[in-house]
Structure 1
Amino acid sequence: MALPNIHNDAPDGASANRVSSSVEDLLLAALARGDNAFQTGRYLVTFKPGADNKDLKALDTGQGMRMADARDFEGQAATLDQLGDADALFLPEINMALIGGHAAIEHKMDAWVGIASDSPIASIDPEYFVFADGGTSGSIVESGFVELATDTTFEGLPGFAESLQQTSDAYLRGFLRATKTIANEIRKSGNGHSHQEIEEETEAIQATWGLKACKVPASRRSGAGINVAVLTNGFDVGHPGFVGRTVVSQTFVGEPVMDLNGHGTHMIGTACGPLAPANPTPRYGIGYKSAIYVAKVLTNSMTGTLASVLTGINWAIANQCPVILAPLAMAGGPSAIFTSVGQSALNKGCLLIAGSSSSGTSVGAPANSPTIMSVAALNKSLQPTPFSPVGKIDIAAPGLDTFSSWPRPRLYATSSGVASATAHVAGCAALWAETSPALRGIRLWQKLQHTARGLPFPVTRVGAGLVQAP
């Protein structure tokens, strides 16, 4: 398999798809190829359960690969831009490795065909880009990330493969131009978004409707001692509502952690916001004493790769976060990659909670994987919202008109989407995890479902029902 021809103004073939390549370089290389496959040119290797350092060493020496290991970085914060000329990066918490495209082809690891039955490798899959979706219900967009993949990796939704085939490289070219200008435009706007807004509540009330529906104000739990990881586009670490809080942040996309879009700050506010914000602001946060772990896996223009998401998950597991909020939704059927990642998290006492997408149709990846908790969104009447999809739903939570924190100078905003529902579940999960060290992984999952409030709707719409605080 020959490397694609690369234009002179793009990164050369040997460097464009390295492990250390930036999202922008990968996009430029994809444009130069002109194949519209939305593949980054790199590969993800999933190892079989039980694969150990000996197997990795065999790849390093036998295959002649220069293998970096996330364990060589403090807290396993392995950022790809620091890997230099490494051919691969091993992520031990999820038992996977990212391999540069040039190295994969050179060592004949760019295809599943030919892998021996006694190999420690379970599968080899191409890596794909992750882009921001169009949004939710007309309020601030804050959920839905569409993985533009063919159904060779994810079984496509009806019509998805056909629509992808019709997409020209003009989309990628336009998207790349946007990545160069969107941050400046966001800064000029002053409020961090350009979507229709619902004005923030000004009435001095005890708590938001979502917290009340989940019985949060009556709970004696605070999330103390529980690490909550949020994988999104960053966080406003200087927000006045989080002064004095434990916040550990890490970027996996080569940009500062600062949230220029609002999505991450809003999700973190709901899951982990303060007990008593300044008057007349209502209480909007659930786990107000939990430690916040911010993984920036999407750039300021809301794009990334599967590797940026997976390195973020690996970091969250390594830092013993019992609750991992991943408000990401990608088109396609259940993914073997995310199923494996979700199982690794459960095995290590961590629960991955994902949005079920904001398409209003079928549940997308990663939430449709059996090892990842899928969340549906409810309105104030505790009915599924029009943008909440149908399918593999495990639990439901408030997702309409959610008041929460927002990057400065605005500070607060109201938003709607499935991601808001996932944040409510993550916050309640932190409260339950505080009640007992035994409530980890699958046991925490089961506790959330067993204590949920039943709702008069099919399981395919609301799962076990409305999440409740302890």
Structure 2
Amino acid sequence: MGHDSEYTGRYVVLFDPSSQESGVSALSSAAGIAPLERVTGTESGNVAELLERPDVSVLFEDLSAAVVEVRPEQRHALVTTAEAEPSIVTAEPERMVHALPITTPQQAPTEFFPAFRSDEDVIARHTRAETAAVQGPSWIEDGYTWGLQAIRAHLSQLTGDGVKVAVLDTGVDTDHPDLAGHLEATESFVPGETVEDVHGHGTHCIGTVAGPADPQQGPRYGVAPEARILAAKVLDNMGNGPDGQILAGMAWAVSHGARVISMSLGSRVRPGELFPQTYETLAVRALALGTVIVAAAGNDSRRPVRTAPVSRPANCPSILSVAALDPALAAAHFSNGTVNGQGGEINIAAPGWQVRSAAPGGGYRAMNGTSMATPHVAGVVALLAQAHPDASAADLSAALVAGAFPLGQPAADIGAGLLQAP
């Protein structure tokens, strides 16, 4: 995948919510951008089609964010206008994002610019060696997966009852017997694709968040079995999607009252690369509206030889970055770490190796990656939100990190430590 294929040619523009109309006018008059099609998070039915049209730019009014079509000759004017206009916070090129485990073979990434891709693709060739090498606690998974035991979710009296958790991913198997009754709402932001998950990544992540206390088969695997799931399909059936679809899902989730947004997706960043201002600003706005955002740190490391930087958008200061642990409760060999500062730190760690959860078609499978660790964290946020219904999003984030169990490993690898359920 070449460098240019990671960029769509569109731009994501953020406005100051207090002077949004001034920014919209400036885009039209100074940069020549066509009038924006306005949508709200609750009116999301045709967003996928709007985003696909080359003659339409879309304004997500709830987030004061727009995805704009920009012809090559307009780019200079757009950037100049954004720098000069106080009501425009930032304008950044739209990039592709990828699932951080994918069930279908993906094109090998280039050194710096993969798609939003799945964890499993990245680490599959290491599986045999890792399985043989990991010697940790003896986890017996008769009643609960090792992940639920490690974070002590099986001992919690909390269930996440009624708390809304949004999972932005490849969709969900809406007929899965373990999950069908847990879906509060579903929406696809992928043109031409329904919310049904043919990839497997989204269903697996949703199962880890809210799989039932008594699943159809095997041990319990859901952290918050009575949470309500908002399933947004923002990545296509191959596990890829542009920023605009992610933003659409975020706007939809916030408008539907999500207390936490779980994003097991990302794209690689270079050492020293700054976090994306777009996602950081939106995360700050989401926090103010009561929504915590958690995201996968990425799976580009080859420990102990090389530790890769935390992926985008998990590298934003206001997004909780989640590392993966193996059954020995050590950082998984693929898990990214704190290489870049200014948001590129690991915040917390959770189980991300051979995690069993739901699979499309009503079945189950084990998957690896920081993608698998992230929904453990989202589930625990749901438990905390149930226990403290009036807590702010910032308070929930602080409680989550403060409750981690220190493992005596570098914070650069595991942040505050092992996630713990209240």
Q: TM-score, normalising length from structure 2? A: 0.82
From the superposition, tell whether residues 228 and 261 of structure 1 become closer, same or farther in structure 2 (CA, over 3 Å): same
Q: How many residues align?
A: 383
Q: Which runs of 4+ in 1 moved over 6 A?
A: 142-148, 195-198
1:324 to 257, 261, 265: 261
5 Å-filtered alignment, 1:325-364, equals 325-332=262-269, 333=273, 334-360=275-301, 361-364=308-311
> Quick one: which amino acid aligns to residue 396 of structure 2?
L
Corresponding residue for residue 10 of structure 2: 42
**3-state DSSP of counterpart to 1:446:** helix
Question: Post-superposition shift, 1:35?
Answer: 8.5
Is 2:356–2:366's contact at 8 Å kept on the other side of the alignment? yes
Aligned-residue identity in percent: 31
Corresponding residue for residue 65 of structure 1: 34
From the superposition, tell whether residues 147 and 117 of structure 1 become closer, same or farther in structure 2 (CA, over 3 Å): farther
Question: Post-superposition shift, 1:66?
Answer: 2.2
**Cα distance in 2 between the residues matched to 1:85 and 1:309:** 18
Gaps of 5+ in 1: 1-30, 149-158, 173-194
From the superposition, tell whether residues 283 and 37 of structure 1 become closer, same or farther in structure 2 (CA, over 3 Å): closer
> Quick one: which amino acid aligns to residue 88 of structure 2?
I
Is 1:350–1:441's contact at 8 Å kept on the other side of the alignment? yes
Deviations 1:177-208 (A, max 9, x none): xxxxxxxxxxxxxxxxxx7999xxxx872211
1:126 to 67, 74, 93: 93
**Cα distance in 2 between the residues matched to 1:252 and 1:372:** 22
From the superposition, tell whether residues 110 and 79 of structure 1 become closer, same or farther in structure 2 (CA, over 3 Å): farther
Asked if 1:456 is matched to 2:416, the reply is: no
2:214 to 255, 259, 276: 276
Is 1:269–1:404's contact at 8 Å kept on the other side of the alignment? yes
**3-state DSSP of counterpart to 1:125:** strand
5 Å-filtered alignment, 1:198-277, equals 205-254=142-191, 255-277=193-215
Corresponding residue for residue 19 of structure 2: 51
Question: Post-superposition shift, 1:244?
Answer: 2.7
Moved more, 308-317 or 113-122: 113-122
**Cα distance in 1 between the residues matched to 2:263 and 2:107:** 11
**Cα distance in 2 between the residues matched to 1:365 and 1:301:** 19
Moved more, 90-99 or 111-120: 111-120
Deviations 1:42-82 (A, max 9, x none): 111122353334543665688673221122x7444551314
Asked if 1:95 is matched to 2:64, the reply is: yes
**3-state DSSP of counterpart to 2:14:** strand
**3-state DSSP of counterpart to 1:51:** helix
Question: Post-superposition shift, 1:110?
Answer: 5.3
**Cα distance in 1 between the residues matched to 2:23 and 2:81:** 18
From the superposition, tell whether residues 147 and 225 of structure 1 become closer, same or farther in structure 2 (CA, over 3 Å): farther
Deviations 1:358-408 (A, max 9, x none): 112221111111011001111122111111122011011111111111111
Question: Post-superposition shift, 1:94?
Answer: 2.8
Corresponding residue for residue 184 of structure 1: none
**Cα distance in 2 between the residues matched to 1:142 and 1:432:** 35
**Cα distance in 1 between the residues matched to 2:398 and 2:107:** 27
**3-state DSSP of counterpart to 2:389:** coil
Deviations 1:334-364 (A, max 9, x none): 1112211211111111111000001122211
**3-state DSSP of counterpart to 2:34:** coil
Q: TM-score, normalising length from structure 1? A: 0.74
Moved more, 239-248 or 324-333: 239-248
Is 2:27–2:78's contact at 8 Å kept on the other side of the alignment? no
Corresponding residue for residue 180 of structure 1: none
Corresponding residue for residue 155 of structure 1: none
> Quick one: which amino acid aligns to residue 344 of structure 1?
R
Corresponding residue for residue 305 of structure 2: none
**Cα distance in 1 between the residues matched to 2:27 and 2:353:** 49
From the superposition, tell whether residues 117 and 42 of structure 1 become closer, same or farther in structure 2 (CA, over 3 Å): closer
Asked if 1:399 is matched to 2:318, the reply is: no
CA RMSD of aligned residues (A): 3.1
Asked if 1:421 is matched to 2:394, the reply is: no
Moved more, 431-440 or 420-429: 431-440
From the superposition, tell whether residues 379 and 142 of structure 1 become closer, same or farther in structure 2 (CA, over 3 Å): farther
Asked if 1:436 is matched to 2:388, the reply is: yes
**3-state DSSP of counterpart to 1:271:** helix
**Cα distance in 1 between the residues matched to 2:3 and 2:409:** 44
**Cα distance in 1 between the residues matched to 2:37 and 2:350:** 40
5 Å-filtered alignment, 1:280-319, equals 281-319=218-256
> Quick one: which amino acid aligns to residue 290 of structure 2?
G
Is 2:203–2:358's contact at 8 Å kept on the other side of the alignment? yes
**3-state DSSP of counterpart to 1:113:** helix
1:387 to 323, 334, 337: 334
Corresponding residue for residue 469 of structure 1: 421
**3-state DSSP of counterpart to 1:403:** strand
**3-state DSSP of counterpart to 1:101:** coil
Corresponding residue for residue 191 of structure 1: none
Moved more, 301-310 or 117-126: 117-126
From the superposition, tell whether residues 450 and 421 of structure 1 become closer, same or farther in structure 2 (CA, over 3 Å): same
Asked if 1:366 is matched to 2:313, the reply is: yes
Gaps of 5+ in 2: 116-123, 129-139, 302-307, 339-344
Is 2:26–2:85's contact at 8 Å kept on the other side of the alignment? no
**Cα distance in 1 between the residues matched to 2:293 and 2:46:** 20
From the superposition, tell whether residues 225 and 89 of structure 1 become closer, same or farther in structure 2 (CA, over 3 Å): same
Question: Post-superposition shift, 1:93?
Answer: 3.2
> Quick one: which amino acid aligns to residue 18 of structure 2?
G
